[in-house]
Structures are given as C-alpha cells and as structure tokens.
Structure 1
C-alpha cells in the first residue's frame, strides 16, 4: 500500500530533554556523541585528534575505531576500548558499558560543570568529602536548588518566592 508524501511511518521526533531531565543514553554511539558534545562544545573532533588525546593520557585507541564507534558500527567493544574512551573524555570508563550504573552520575556531574562554566554556580564548599568527591545525589540536589532559585528570580516582576523557595529547602538527614 502506497502512502502519500509526508504520511510515511517511522520514528516520531523526540524532543530533547529539558533542563531538569537526564538524557537517555542507551547505545555506545549515543554515549560517545553526548560526551563529544559536552567535552568539546562547539568543536568538531576528528578520530585522529581524539586518538592522539587518548595516547597523550596513556591509552591506546585508533582513529578509525573511534570513527567506527561514532558511525554506530561498533556496539560491543572490549573493556580496553572502554577504558581508552574514559581516558579520552576524562570520565569513569564504566560510563560506556551497557546498562552502566554510572551514566546518571557522569551526566549530573557534567550538568553541574556546565552551570559552573556559565556562572549559574559561583562556588561550592564541601566538608567531609572523600577522594570520590561529591556524591551524585548531592550534585542533583545542588542543581535542583539552582533551578529553583532561577525560577524564583524570573517570577512575576522579580518578586521573591514564598516559603517554598530554594532558600528554605534542606537536604534530608542529620542537620549540619
């Protein structure tokens, strides 16, 4: 059965995630594309440049293999390749594993850094941190406070919020 032009069936367009939503990154290609976009914003990174970056950081990845990942031709790379990707992007290599538990942590950290770069976050003091830094839950909480504050600022005629403002939110747990 023929279909009229414009009436073709196929995937429906998906809206990009909103500022409060974490992007859905299922495939290796999606994860690598996301990391390229966030690590090198506005830049076109060739396979050769990325392979050289990995090599400079002590890893090994061929430029053609990286290009094949971006083309979606590689879906089941070895652990060594995943570790090389982690070195190149400066993130935990497990981010690139299938069904990784660290994807949300890495994405939350990148969102935090982006807000720091744009000036939405001017400083952060952490007490009692270990070598792993801020836990992802705390990063998400900090981001939610910033988003609440931004919404409050853009309220009607610059009026400040009421009792539900970001300044009145406190993390669960023992008082500091």
Structure 2
C-alpha cells in the first residue's frame, strides 16, 4: 500500500498529512462541522490549502467555533473584527459570504431539519448539479469550492488513491453513515 502521491513523503506531524489521514473525505456529523468546512473551502480560494490548514484554529476562534446561529447574527462590528483579525483571511467578500451562508443554513435547518439532511436529500448529484444547487442559495461557491467541499465531506467520490490505506477507511466511514 502507498499513500496518495501528494502526501506520501510528508512526515506524520505535517498539517497536510494529518488532514489527509483523519479528515479529508471522511463524513462529518454536525451542521457546524459542515459549515466550518464550507467556510474553510471558501477561504482557500486563490490561496494554498496549507495556508488554511495552518490558520484553521484561528478561524475556529474567530468564528465562535463555527456556531451557525452565532455567525448568522453577527452585526457590522463583528464583520469589522473579522476583517482586522490577522489570524484569518481578511477578505471582505469571504467574510460576508460566511455570514450570509450561515443564514442560508439556518433557513435550511428550518425547512429540512438540518443542513446535513438537505445535503443528504439531494445526494447523489453530479458535481455540476451540486454547483447549480449551491449557487441558488449560497455566496462565493464556485465549481472548485463545491467540489472540494463535497469531496472532503464524503458526498462526491473520494480523491484518495485506491491503494492508499486511508481510502478504505473513508469508504467504510461513508458506508457506516449511509453515504454511497
């Protein structure tokens, strides 16, 4: 067995290796976790994933643990706080998208019980169908962002190489959660 090419030579304490081995492709349990991943994927646009992984803890603190209701209710002062926080990506469009998208998720929770249930009700779709669906409601969600969000959460086929030892773990986790 060999690891996926992009991480096979990375030490175990590398942020990419940790993400690959324990997070990438594995289904998430809660709406807050899904929201966190969506915000991180949005913030990665135009930047390296390494930048996001290194700043992940800062994002968690800055966005109040990615509590959807809290982020959805941020007043202008909170937007300004985020835009001055050197620990995260200070991009007005991305900050505004996070707040807008938190409100969208609250609406989805009211309509469907949870963000996760909304995704599951629409699963499976092709990447293009997912992008079209997300663009109807969410901001700052292009094809690559949605592709990475859905691959990283188990709703699109895993990008792990079939001979990577993590591949089978991801597939088992998806099966255990009812994602095929």
Higher RCO (Cα < 8 Å, 6 or more apart): 2
| TM norm. shorter chain > 0.5 | no
| TM-score, normalised by the number of residues in structure 2 | 0.27
Structure with the higher helix share, 1 or 2: 2
Q: Which is greater in Rg?
A: 1
| TM-score, normalised by the number of residues in structure 1 | 0.27
